[in-house]
Amino acid sequence: MAAWLAGLTLLLFAGLFPLGHWYSDEYDIFHDMALQGGAASWHRFWVWSPRPVSELLIHLYGRLVLATGRAWIPELLLFSLLWLLAAATMPLWRVAAGAGRHWLPLTLTVCAMCLSGHAVARVFYWPVASLAYVLTLAGVMGVFAEHLRPGAQVRSWVCGGWLLLAALSSEIGAMFALIHGLLSLCRSRRGGWALLPSLLGAGLVLGLMLSHRAGGVVEQIPGAGPVHQLWSSLRASVTTSWPHLWFAAGDAGVAATLQVVSKLALLGAAAGLAVGQGLPLTRRRGLWVLAAGAAAMVPATIFAAWYQFGQLCCEHHDTVRQCFMVLALAAFGAGLGLTLEAAGCNAPLLQRLAPWLLCLALGTALAVSAPPMWADYRQYAQRYRLQQENWASGEAADPQLTIRQWPPGRLTGGSPPMPAGSFGDGVPVPAGADHQRRFFGKRTVRVEAPSALSSP
């Protein structure tokens, strides 16, 4: 039942992919590519975003957009999600006698919980962000699924490959690969050779980030504190990490309670599923290392935000933190179940309750996301029509671009409103509109006031 609930949840979120949207990044990146070709992507990699895998995919995505005149948003978002699902299922699907499939409800539920119960617009509904962050999560998920794969040993080379994917997809993935790799080597040197590529990849990404963007680019947010301050950033990360570690940062009342119930149910379900399933008991150490590395990403990313931006920023970082905590709890719970088994406690009641706890974990998280999801589905046709009209205006021969605005989706998000009016020909163009004007090659732009959407 839990696997079916997870599948339904993933389909519901994927059904909103056509309402995904570009921000200024796509318009700027692809405009520069149209003018400079590969040199623009190479410059972006070295100066701004040293993420080999995701930047290569963004470059290929831009080439596709420029060649076809289509945005390909739902297809790109689905491509990213399929990476996450592949990581959750591939290590388990073909295990003999279906033993690995015992774990599929857990890994699929973890995937679904990465989308449920918290903001997801700037990771799962933003194309260029999804190529960086969803692939990062896929790398971590692949390591988790490999640790659940029945067999005498964890395949070090498989874990190394998934860690390399995470490290080369984003700086967050590089931090995780570095932390996890060092913790693994402290636990055991066996199979350490397989970690070498991911450690080198993490060093490359973080080294370029520190020497270029974080080392020389000031991204201080207006009203924020000073940037590039090591000790003050450390202090701030310590004081602001605890709500995230307790699963309910930014929530209050019923939503906060549901978040805590969801995460504790996931912990219990993972423990119950692990007892008596024939996994080597020594596997618990690897699961705990994975859990510790994933949990460590909360203070690590919070520190990086304070250091680079002068405050806790941004929504996509918070979404990834929430996903790391889901993975940490699932890994810790599975390790806890193996510990109970090693102590001679088969916990029969916990084993029987595990499938229901999985449903409870996902159901309570989904209850938080259900109202905004339902609101976006009710306005689906209107949002999609306005989005298509904007793109058609850009592709038309008219030298003026018309931008129709609408309120951001409650789940899928959207760009903040811009001032209405006609701009260009000497009238300064608002930044958000100018990105679109330049991408489509227009001389002027007319921005309409946000349309009020009805809820049929």
Identify the pLDDT of residue 342: 83
Identify the pLDDT of residue 304: 86
Residue at 136: amino acid letter? T
For residues 107 and 333, is the Cβ–Cβ distance under 8 A?
no
For residues 403 and 384, is the Cβ–Cβ distance under 8 A?
no
CA dist., res. 361 & res. 290, Å (int): 21
Spell out where 303-391 has E strands: none
Q: List alpha helices for 116-251, DSSP H.
A: 121-124, 127-148, 156-169, 171-187, 196-208, 214-216, 230-245
CA dist., res. 74 & res. 67, Å (int): 17
Q: Which residues contact 281 (CB under 8 A, 6 or more apart)?
A: 338, 341, 342
Could you tell me which of 339, 22, 293 has the C-alpha nearest to residue 139?
293
Could you tell me which of 205, 279, 259, 175 has the C-alpha nearest to residue 50?
205
Could you tell me which of 244, 271, 238, 274 has the C-alpha nearest to residue 260?
244
CA dist., res. 236 & res. 241, Å (int): 8
CA 274 to chain CA mean position, Å: 26
Q: Look-up: residue for tokens 């290929």?
A: 60
Strand partners, 427: 424
Could you tell me which of 142, 18, 400, 104 has the C-alpha nearest to residue 277?
104
CA dist., res. 430 & res. 89, Å (int): 45
SS3 of residue 422 by DSSP: strand
Domain residue spans in the chain? Answer: 2-378, 380-447
- The pair of structure tokens assigned to 362 is 């996902």
SS3 of residue 312 by DSSP: coil
What number of other Cβ atoms are within 10 A of residue 429's Cβ?
22
Spell out where 367-416 has E strands: 400-403
Q: Which residues contact 160 (CB under 8 A, 6 or more apart)?
A: 194, 195, 196, 197, 198
CA dist., res. 173 & res. 162, Å (int): 10
The one-character DSSP state at 220 is P
Model confidence pLDDT, tens digit, residues 378-397: 999 999 999 999 999 999 99
For residues 411 and 372, is the Cβ–Cβ distance under 8 A?
yes
CA dist., res. 341 & res. 146, Å (int): 20
Q: Left if phi > 0, otherwise alpha if psi is -120 to 50, otherwise beta: which for 445?
A: beta
CA 109 to chain CA mean position, Å: 15
Count of residues for the chain?
456
Q: What is the pLDDT tens value at each position of the chain, 456 positions in all?
A: 888 999 999 999 999 999 999 999 999 999 999 999 999 999 999 988 999 999 999 999 999 999 999 999 999 999 999 999 999 998 887 664 566 678 899 999 999 999 999 899 999 999 999 999 999 999 999 999 999 988 768 888 899 999 999 999 999 999 999 999 999 888 776 767 888 999 999 999 999 988 877 555 556 566 666 677 777 777 777 777 766 666 555 555 677 788 889 999 999 999 999 887 778 888 889 999 999 999 999 989 988 887 877 777 888 889 999 999 999 999 999 999 999 888 878 778 888 899 999 999 999 999 999 999 999 999 999 999 999 999 999 999 999 999 999 999 999 999 888 999 999 888 888 888 999 999 999 999 999 988 766 655
Would you call the peptide bond into 314 cis, given omega within 30 degrees of 0 as the criterion?
A: yes
CA dist., res. 90 & res. 180, Å (int): 21
- The pair of structure tokens assigned to 296 is 């460590």
CA dist., res. 202 & res. 180, Å (int): 11
Strand partners, 413: 409
